[in-house]
Amino acid sequence: MKIKTGLGIDVHRLEPGLDFWLGGIKLQHDKGCVAHSDGDVLIHAICDALLGAAGLDDIGTYFPDTDPAYKGIDSKILLKKVVEMLERKCFSVGNIDCVICLQRPKIKMRTLEMRECLAEIIGIDVDDLTIKATTTEQLGFEGREEGVSAYATVLLIKL
């Protein structure tokens, strides 16, 4: 059995009047992510971590922001496509651990919903996917509520 790890990071600017998607669910917030897709930083970080662990290129290679086909796309669709790429390479997901950095909104009460949504798409048990959130104590762009960042680590198992 061969195991591989991956790390993914994504950052998006926040602006008023846009929808705020995080972990596959829409959150109530007065700002949303500026992006070519729906701007779900958590899914994007997970995709990059999965792709990297499998020895594949980054998310922008497969779903470029210059391609009109991905304009406004639901990031859950991108995640499903990444999972299919992994399956073709005979990888299964062991676990995923994530951290989201944002000042507001508080998301603790929504992380289980995010985990359930993402675990179903990935085909893993909800206990194999963790999501934690932290503020940056009002420091940096996250603390000033100018943007949000997400980090994900994954463990893949070669079948």
Say which residues have a Cβ less than 8 Å from residue 126's Cβ, sequence separation at least 6: 112, 115, 116, 119
108-147 pLDDT, tens digit each: 999 999 999 999 999 999 999 999 999 999 999 999 999 9
At which residue do the structure tokens 């503020």 appear? 135
Residue holding tokens 């499998």?
54
Tell me which residue has tokens 């994954």: 154
Q: Which CATH architecture has domain 2-158?
A: 2-Layer Sandwich (3.30)
Both tokens of 120, joined, read 């179903």
**Over the stretch 69-111, which tens digit does the pLDDT of each residue have?**
999 999 999 999 999 999 999 999 999 999 999 999 999 999 9
Binding-site residue positions for a divalent metal cation: 10, 12, 44
For strand 129-134 and strand 91-101, is the pairing parallel, antiparallel, or unpaired?
A: parallel
- Give the separation between CA 140 and CA 15, rounded to whole angstroms: 16
Q: Binding site residues, as ranges?
A: 10-12, 36-37, 44, 58-60, 63-67, 134-137, 141, 144
CA dist., res. 5 & res. 140, Å (int): 28
Residues 58-69 pLDDT 10s: 999 999 999 999
Percent of the chain whose pLDDT exceeds 70: 100
